[in-house]
Structure 1
Amino acid sequence: MLRIFHNTTFDFIKWWRWAAGLTAAFIAIGLASYAVNPSLNYSIEFTGGTLMQLEFQQAPDPAELRSTVGTVAEGAEIQQYGSPTEYTVRAQGATGVESADAGAEGVGRRIGAALQQKYGAQGVRVVRTEAVGARVGEELSRGAIVAVLLGSVLTLIYLAIRFEWRFGLAAVLATGHDILVTAAFIKLFHIEVSLTVVAAILTLLGYSMNDTIIIFDRVREDLRLRRKEPLRDTLNRAINETLPRSVLTHATTLAATLALLLFAGEVIRPFAAVMAFGIFVATFSSIYVAGPLLLWIERKWPRRTIAGTAPRGTATPDRGAVRPEQPVGAR
């Protein structure tokens, strides 16, 4: 059996300040980009509209194509992807969509008819068409927000029952960090926010939470075996003990995600991009966010492990800030 990073003794918690500064800087850059341009690149699933994927027999003139589509859907967005003969047409929002007699589906039919009249029935092929009404888009937006919030609340309840509320709070706060970092990534790289991206975010939350739970479960086991050991050392030990499993799991998951990112189609590519980034974020947060947060929570609200004794020895994320356990009243 392949064993890598076995019996390591890395001091991960030692670098928590550098990690916090790095992630805070990335989130700040993302928030600054929101301040400059608060709108996201929403897909028609959330804004309502029509999406068409076109394939031409010969590369068309972009200005001519834009003029032809504009006669049906004014303000439609036209983009080339892949080869010079492949284009996407997006007619979003009220312009050219709500005013159509048959709504978003009618716009798609009218665009297709205009293109076939211009380029001929054999000159252009409509590969796929997606049409979503504005009301459906609003419902999908609400559903996506509810799904993320409900998933976080249920996870907090589960962890509070399965472990204790300190572990659950640290894990959920670390997951909140993952959402902020992923949102900054989506904004900075102008990734289209669609239902597949929402699915990627939910998958990322579960993936990150699972990684954190595995480390926290090892922490709980080590706490029972080494009652006198400071929590900071127990956290480092748990991370090192689960490191071989984490490296193999993340490497295989990343390989599959990169295959989707490089070779999958345009529809699945945003999902793969968010997931590939999320694997790094999940690994980072389970080590450098969840652990220091648990130390901070333990310091603010220490536990009593044995009746008649003071709280268990706690530590801040700084080395050496450890208070040894002693009986109540001892001098």
Structure 2
Amino acid sequence: MAFRLKLVPADTKIDFFRWQFLTFGLSTLLAVASVVCLLVMGLNFGIDFRGGTTIRTESVQPVDVGAYRQALQPLNLGDVAITEVFDPTFGPEQNVAQVRISAQDGAEAVTPETVAAVEAALQEVDPSITFPSVESVGPKVSGELIQTAVYAVIASLAAISIYIWLRFEWQFAVGALVSLVHDVLITMGVFSLFQIKFDLTTIAALLTILGYSINDTVVVFDRLRENLMKYKKTPLRDLMNLSVNETLSRTVMTSGTTLVALIALLVLGGDVIRGFVFAITFGIVIGTYSSVYVAKNVVLWLGVKRDWSKPDPKAAGTQFTDPEAQ
């Protein structure tokens, strides 16, 4: 007899709408607070968005990121990122690293004197170190990166909403869009509140959150559509509760196993990836919450087509939801 791990009983009957006004009100409050926090405190932009200088180092000795960072601490350079560069074409005595220094407030770039001080400090740690290249990112390029990042998030939201609209109905698309905007806003609000470094890797984490959150939402929506065809007289609220309960085991198992790996990375992964991992970890928690308590509440308030077994030529995307067409 095979052993099956069950974190959630097979037949749960949780009333997820019992506190719907409290949960949705809390989500609204957190979203508004996040907007206020972003307007008042702003984001702690990293080098990618603030501009700065990247110094490429090369040495015959192995790269010691900890020693490099300790040598640069007395210089009070602010945001400094040190990463080792791996390439299969490098020889055994070719150890390469990148030192990225953020521009100071009020300055457009890192001064040559600062670059010289950094090079001197690193040469004290490793006399054999050389500096093949020094590249600067100006405020204009940083501004373009911010603009492109915003466009990427907006385009992702739009594409996901269109997919949900075609796959289900416009009410589902609105619910999914509200849920995704909720996830992004609150995640960015947390970054603003605690002034966690916000860079291109955080944008990648936000896009990952969008994909993860909509995946869970689609699972619930798909089960709801099946139940709408099966129970044509059951109230919509009861069908939504039933759908979430039927997919609850899958939601808990997927989110739980993902969080186990992410928490390990968050604790043991080091400072370089901590912001990225924190964004995904928090995003998965808030995304799971929004799939259960935000998206379906919006759909309930908007109302949906009840008899999905009959095509509705007036409804957008019906050709994709007709069981005979799939």
Aligned residues: 280
User: TM-score, normalising length from structure 1?
Assistant: 0.74
Q: Find out whether 1:245 has 2:245 as its counterpart.
A: no
**SS of corresponding position for 1:50:** strand
Which blocks of at least 5 consecutive residues in structure 2 are unaligned? Answer: 56-63, 83-98, 311-326
Does the alignment pair 1:15 with 2:19?
yes
Confirm or deny that 1:217 pairs with 2:222.
yes
| Secondary structure in 1 matching 2:143 | helix
Q: Which residue of 2 aligns with 1:233?
A: 238
Would you say the 8 A contact 2:72–2:121 is kept in 1?
Answer: no
Does the C-alpha gap of structure 1 residues 58 and 291 become closer, same or farther in structure 2, counting only changes over 3 Å? closer
Larger Rg: 1
* TM-score, normalised by the number of residues in structure 2: 0.75
Q: CA offsets per residue over residues 51-105 of structure 1, 9 Å max, x none?
A: 679644896696xx23xx6xxxxxx426799xxxxx985334662617x5xxxxx
Out of 45, 48, 59, which is 2:48 matched to? 45
Compare 263-272 and 248-257 and name the one that shifted more. 263-272
Determine if the alignment matches structure 1 residue 90 to structure 2 residue 93: no
User: 1: CA distance between counterparts of 2:11 and 2:113?
Assistant: 63
Superposed, 1:191-210 pairs within 5 Å as 191-210=196-215
Matching residue of 1:259: 264
Q: Aligned equivalents of 1:57 and 1:208: distance in 2? A: 39
In the alignment, is the contact (CA less than 8 A) between 2:47 and 2:79 conserved in 1? no
Cα distance in 2 between the residues matched to 1:11 and 1:58: 52
Q: Deviations over 1:260-282 (max 9, x none)?
A: 11111322110110111111101
Cα 1:176/1:36, change in 2 over 3 Å: closer
Q: CA shift at 1:283, angstroms?
A: 0.9
Confirm or deny that 1:278 pairs with 2:290: no
Cα distance in 2 for residues equivalent to 1:29 and 1:190: 15
Structure 1 letter corresponding to 2:46 = S
Residue 132 (structure 1) aligns with:
137
Q: What secondary structure is seen at the aligned counterpart in 1 of 2:103?
A: strand
User: 1:145 maps to what in 2?
Assistant: 150
Does the 8 Å CA contact 1:58/1:123 hold for their aligned counterparts? no
Matched, 1:295 2:296: no
Among residues 98, 118, 122, which one is paired with 1:112 in the alignment?
Answer: 118
Identity %: 35
**Partner SS state of residue 202, structure 2:** helix
- Which amino acid in structure 2 is aligned with residue 201 of structure 1? L
Q: After the TM superposition, which of the residue ranges 52-61 and 26-35 deviates more from structure 2?
A: 52-61
Question: Which letter does structure 1 place at the counterpart of 2:15?
Answer: D
Q: 1:116 to 1:244 in 2, by over 3 A?
A: closer
CA 1:224/1:305 → structure 2, altered by over 3 Å: closer, same or farther?
Answer: closer
Taking only aligned residues, the RMSD between alpha carbons, in angstroms, comes to 3.4
SS at match of 2:31: helix
Q: 2:34 aligns with which of 27, 30, 34?
A: 30
Which protein, 1 or 2, shows the higher relative CO under an 8 Å CA cutoff with sep ≥ 6? 2
In 2, the alpha carbon distance for the partners of 1:93 and 1:58 equals: 21
Q: Which amino acid aligns with 1:254?
A: L
5+ residue gaps in structure 1? 70-75, 82-86, 101-105, 308-331
The aligned runs of 1:159-198 (5 Å cut-off) are 159-198=164-203
CA distance in 2, matches of 1:80, 1:167: 42
Q: Give the counterpart letter for 1:249 in structure 2.
A: T
Partner Cα distance (2:210, 2:164) in 1: 14
Q: Deviations over 1:31-66 (max 9, x none)?
A: 4433542x310011011113679644896696xx23
Query: Which whole-Å CA distance do the structure 1 matches of 2:260 and 2:173 have between them?
Result: 30
Contact in 2 for aligned 1:78/1:89 (Cα 8 Å): yes
Q: CA deviation at 1:303?
A: 3.7
Comparing 44-53 with 145-154, which one deviates more in the overlay? 44-53
